[in-house]
Amino acid sequence: MSEVKPPAGEGVAKGARAEGRREGSLEAPTRHPLDWRSPEFTADEPLYAELERIFDICHGCRRCFSLCNSFPTLFDAIDESDTGELDAVPREVYWKVVDHCYLCDMCYMTKCPYVPPHEWNVDFPHLMLRAKYKRFKDGAPISFRDRMLSSTDVVGALAGIPVVAETVNAVNSTKWGRKLLESTLGVDAEAPVPKYASKSARRRLKDKIGRRDVVAEPAGETRGKVLVFSTCYGRHNKPSLVEDLVAVFEHNGIPTALPTTERCCGMPKFEMGDLESVQKLKEQNIPELYRWVQEGWDLTSVIPSCVLMFKQELPLMFPDDPAVIAVRDAFYDPFEYLMIRHRHGKLRTDFKQPLGKISYQVPCHQRVQNIGLKTRDVLQLVPGTEVQAIERCSGHDGTYAVKKEYGATSRKIGRPVARQVDNAKADHFISDCPMAAEQIAALAESATAAGPLELLRRAYGI
């Protein structure tokens, strides 16, 4: 893979014109597989050389200044340096840039004109992932908080024990409890933290676990029966997400089932750079999901980040694994699936209740899937419903908002969305990502978060 840097001493746009290239193109962005097991991937000098190359391109462009805090951190360091160029910025600053990247992919998908197939081959998020993985592989200390926040299976199972769940929820709902969490674990006292359910989604829907005796009706590319990956959040924090999905799909004649076994998709470990743990989780999830795909089932999930993990990140980490690729090809966002069915006349439109005006924040990890605004499109099929989409980051982004050192920055990123929600004065506020929804609702003056599948279920009267 060739790596071409803009001519020295020239701005990015000027360098592009000098060589007869255009900024960006009409071609869709492409992602290269992650060569994460290669020794060069984490070797010092190749990594620093690539960081310097990409940072210098970003410095000459600066289109991403309004996204996450990685870019202001980089640009401020350059502007305040002795030369006003990257060569005067100490390498220690590079790691501050890395720490502020939460892999939302918005720079890659919406701003950067130099992503592949452009010759300069800029993939800022995956470069940040490479740096995170290097630091993890080199044995950099990982705090107990960070290990806990990324171990969603373990924490959810423990906190979801009856009595324990009520106790954890009670402590987390008090100011003194939040101050205690902040002082002992570094969990930001103002960040929304999820509640834990004493009865998980898999317990509530135990009749769906391993269910195979169904009759399916294909439509378009969909095969008409769907395995629901319930996710850590759906299992342990908000089981109603899974119940709403199952109710809506079954109402539309789409039989559903839950996997026999299920572990975390790996996204929390991925965001931390712990790719070995991602591989271990993949080795537990993929064989199970692949069996269902071979039996003719499609796949979906209630959290956009989990869908993205199976549709993009695992295939880029394991591009030669046929089971991973088969799972990728069978995975759908829930509203993407419903919209495909609608185009083939297989979505029920016997809605009983209008939904009014909806303010809808589109999560970053859903936008990255390049499926369009399918949640909006489905909800607007309900008579008497208007959906106003807000395509801007909530600032929550996995565990970023929960960490004390990033909480204030996270809220700064999310406030413009909260203002748009307040100004909309809508009947409902929703996001496909429940964590993003709670963050925005906490920042808004008068918004209460709901789920899009919850509203669709309400519109059907089921």
Q: What local confidence, expressed as pLDDT, does residue 5 receive?
A: 44
Q: Name the band, by pLDDT with cuts 50, 70 and 90, for residue 35.
A: very high
Mean pLDDT of the 391-405 span? 84
Tokens 């936008």: give the residue: 367
Q: Name the band, by pLDDT with cuts 50, 70 and 90, for residue 260.
A: very high
Q: What local confidence, expressed as pLDDT, does residue 114 receive?
A: 92
pLDDT at 232 over 70: yes
CA angle 55, 305, 396 (to 5 degrees): 65
Mean pLDDT of the 275-290 span? 96
| Residue 59 neighbours by CB distance under 10 Å | 20
At position 131, the amino acid (one-letter code) is A
Structural domain spans, the chain: 12-137, 144-185, 201-339, 350-460
Q: What local confidence, expressed as pLDDT, does residue 23 receive?
A: 52
DSSP result, 98-131: HHT-----HIIIII-TT-TTSTT---HHHHHHHH
Mean pLDDT of the 338-364 span? 95
Mean pLDDT of the 434-440 span? 92
pLDDT at 193 over 90: no
Radius of gyration of the chain, Cα coordinates, nearest whole angstrom: 22
Q: Is the peptide bond before 7 cis (omega within 30 degrees of 0)?
A: no
Residues 77 and 89 sit within 8 Å (Cβ to Cβ): yes
DSSP result, 218-242: -BTTB-S-EEEE-HHIIIII-THHH
Burial of 196 (0-12, 13-18, 19+ CB in 10 A): buried
Q: What local confidence, expressed as pLDDT, does residue 251 receive?
A: 97
Residues 431 and 396 sit within 8 Å (Cβ to Cβ): no
Out of 5-19, 277-291, 395-409, the most confident range is 277-291
What tokens were used for 43? 């070797």
pLDDT at 9 over 80: no
Number of H helices, E strands in the chain: 25, 8
Mean pLDDT of the 394-413 span? 85
pLDDT at 161 over 50: yes
pLDDT at 271 over 70: yes
Measured CA to CA, the distance from residue 215 to residue 225 in angstroms comes to 8
The highest-level CATH class for domain 350-460 is: alpha beta
Residue 360, beta-bridge partner list: 389, 430
Measured CA to CA, the distance from residue 151 to residue 284 in angstroms comes to 15
User: Phi and psi for 209 in degrees, rounded to 5?
Assistant: -70, 120
Mean pLDDT of the 186-207 span? 85
Residues 244 and 451 sit within 8 Å (Cβ to Cβ): yes
Mean pLDDT of the 334-350 span? 96
Q: What local confidence, expressed as pLDDT, does residue 173 receive?
A: 75
CA angle 2, 117, 13 (to 5 degrees): 90
Which residues are CB-contacts of 236 (< 8 A; sequence separation ≥ 6)? 152, 156, 157, 159, 160, 196, 197, 200
Whole-number percent of the chain with pLDDT over 70:
89
Tokens 């746009």: give the residue: 13
Of 231, 234, 203, 194, residue with least CA distance to 435: 194
Mean pLDDT of the 71-98 span? 92
pLDDT at 107 over 80: yes
pLDDT at 208 over 70: yes
3-state helix, strand, coil in the chain (%, to 5): 50, 10, 40
Q: What local confidence, expressed as pLDDT, does residue 398 receive?
A: 75
Residues 441 and 449 sit within 8 Å (Cβ to Cβ): yes
Q: What local confidence, expressed as pLDDT, does residue 144 receive?
A: 76
What tokens were used for 325? 């690729």
Mean pLDDT of the 369-396 span? 93
Residues 359 and 420 sit within 8 Å (Cβ to Cβ): yes
Out of 134-143, 272-281, 323-332, the most confident range is 323-332
Q: What is the mean pLDDT of the chain?
A: 87
| Residue 307 neighbours by CB distance under 10 Å | 28
Q: Which of 19-33, 191-205, 299-313, 337-351 has the lowest mean pLDDT?
A: 19-33
Three-class DSSP category at 217: coil
Identify the residue with better confidence: 403 or 146. Answer: 403
Q: Name the band, by pLDDT with cuts 50, 70 and 90, for residue 165.
A: low
pLDDT at 38 over 60: yes
Residue 359, beta-bridge partner list: 388, 429
